[in-house]
Amino acid sequence: MNSDLEIARSVPLRSIPEVAERAGIPELLVEPHGRHMAKIRLEPRALEPRAGVRVIGVTSINATPYGEGKTVTAIALVDALHRMGKSAIGTLRQPSLGPIFGTKGGATGGGRAQVVPGEDINLHFTGDLHAVSAAHNLLAAMADNHVFHGNRLDLVPREMLCTRTVDMNDRSLRDVILGIGLTPLGATREGAFDIVAASEVMAALTLATDLMDLKARLARMVVGFARDGRPVTAADLRAQGAMTVLLKDAVKPNLVQTLEGSPMLVHAGPFANVAPGNSSVVADRLARSLCDYVVTESGFGSECGFEKLVDLKCRHAGYQPNVAVLVVSTRALKWHGGALANPADREQARKPAPEAVRLGAANLAKHVDNVRAFGCPCVVAINVFESDSEDELRVVEQEGHRAGATAVVRSAGHARGGAGAQELAGAVLRALEHPAHVEPLYPLEWSLREKIHAVATKMFGARDVRYSAVARGRLDFYESHGYGGLPVCIAKTSSSLSHDPHLKNRPEGFTFPIEDARLYAGAGYVLPLAGKVLTMPGLPEVPAAEGIDIDAEGRIRGL
């Protein structure tokens, strides 16, 4: 089979005005970036949701080295709906350069289900992540500058919350020393870098409803605390205006297309293990104003991205998903079932192992339970590979129905694009015929610990929650300063339902450890950190960057 790049290059693309016209976007709102990408200007009057619009959330089981196929499935589902004569738009997150040059690679789908132009989307795209980085680092610079020039707000330098950020995996920046060589008026202190996808500015961009809401969120960002315990915000530093100026174009959703010419909005890029893990509210608002079906993908498994879709993103935005598509593959279930110990052994992954699939289906069952815990119908999509045996596929179908899924269908989006996902589209449309009442897991009136306990026990399967002394102190401190009414965005591994990436399948009866907690008042949540969670990843021993190159004619390979 040809590579993803070869497949994408073989398909003639529509011009971006054609894609916008197909989506129903007025020409005056389209700001082209070349021939095949555009920013869409936000007009408040054009963001009112269409009557009867339905939101389809795409999620999956826990991540494995084989990939579950959420992005492929989401793209193919949009194409399938268009083939059936339906009005549909997909909303996806933007890729981060760190994973692209590290291990994960690009995030534009694969095979016949891709968003294009893939090289541009996976690299600098329209510059949104660079704008987020600039705005974040401007705030950090202004905070340190304030301390240097007299510290009128009486900030405690060693307790500053504002990190720096860069869009690259670089473990050497996890802990740094700032201020070396400053005059006695300066302050040498410990600091850190987060990757842009974990930045609070990225989260604020993701959850903002428009430009002025983004400005208000930036103003509420807490950079540190004064000696009397008072929170010091970006507004106190008068930084929110300049930060918003840097983000004035980044807040506009990006319009691209699938290989079949379906419109896709690719906007904002927070990780799901340490951040909200969903595309932007403004992209969803735009899509909901234009079409009847919005297909939006959440990062990682249901206990990460889908939980944050409901409890964070949609709670902020005032709508909820009407149905969930839960993506699974036989390979992933064999991994959870213990049959695949070596991720590099691709031949072993192709060998039939129906009993391992049945054992691994306990992970699938938990994710079906998670979706249904919100009151949301769950359609299981089996991402089919050529090597899948009929026995394995029947096991997934049996176990999915036994877990309570509304439907279990096979999807071949990678091999056949929209044509391979029409059975899935039909199952989703049938599920949407039955109204669902989807609600968050917890009310905002609960304490922060009650919210953490609800997510840990209901989503992860934990027996109870243990707090370190640091975490207890910070949660109590945040509540005492008026932040107890915020939702929680738990940072944990994506490789397991638990906090331990080595615990596969469906671990139960464990104690979930909260080691620390951060305040993201601007984004609008508290971030409890479970176990050893990194907000700055590192590169692997052999990074993907070693295999990426370009020739004299500008053709990229290895991306």
Q: Are 221 and 261 spatial neighbours (Cβ–Cβ below 8 Å)?
A: no
Give me the pLDDT at residue 1, please.
64
Backbone phi and psi for residue 131, each to the nearest 5 degrees, phi listed first = -65, -40
Distance of CA 225 to the CA centre of its chain: 30
pLDDT tens, position by position, 491-533? 999 999 999 999 999 999 999 999 999 999 999 999 999 988 8
Number of Cβ atoms within 10 Å of the Cβ of 440: 17
Cis status of the peptide bond prior to 26, with omega within 30 of 0: no
Instruction: Give the dihedral of Cα atoms 124, 126, 132, 135; nearest 10 deg.
Output: 110
Distance of CA 552 to the CA centre of its chain: 35
Instruction: Give the dihedral of Cα atoms 219, 221, 225, 230; nearest 10 deg.
Output: 50
**Six-digit token pair at 538?**
């590192």
Which residues are bridge partners to 166 per DSSP? 195
Helix (H, G, I), strand (E, B) or coil at 436: coil
Identify residue 169 by its one-letter amino acid code. Answer: N
Q: What is the pTM of this model?
A: 0.95
pLDDT tens, position by position, 177-234? 888 877 655 568 889 999 999 999 999 999 999 999 999 999 999 999 999 999 999 9
Give me the pLDDT at residue 343, please.
73
Q: Is 52 left (phi over 0), alpha (psi -120 to 50) or beta?
A: left
The sign of the dihedral angle between the CA atoms of 290, 293, 296, 302 is: positive
Reported as type and span, the H/E element at residue 73 is helix 70-83
**Six-digit token pair at 522?**
């601007």
Whose tokens are 């694969």? That residue is 110
Distance of CA 480 to the CA centre of its chain: 30
Identify residue 47 by its one-letter amino acid code. Answer: L
Could you state, in chain order, the average pLDDT of each consecutive group of 10 residues for the chain (559 residues)? 84 96 95 97 83 97 90 98 98 92 82 95 95 98 92 90 92 89 69 94 97 98 94 98 98 98 97 95 96 97 98 94 98 92 76 94 98 98 94 98 98 97 98 94 98 98 98 97 97 96 95 97 97 86 88 86
pLDDT tens, position by position, 360-370? 999 999 999 99
Identify residue 463 by its one-letter amino acid code. Answer: R
Tell me the domains of the chain and their CATH numbers.
4-96+254-431 (3.40.50.300), 128-246 (3.30.1510.10), 448-530 (3.10.410.10)
Which residues are bridge partners to 284 per DSSP? none
Q: Are 62 and 366 spatial neighbours (Cβ–Cβ below 8 Å)?
A: no
Number of Cβ atoms within 10 Å of the Cβ of 189: 16
Give me the pLDDT at residue 201, please.
98
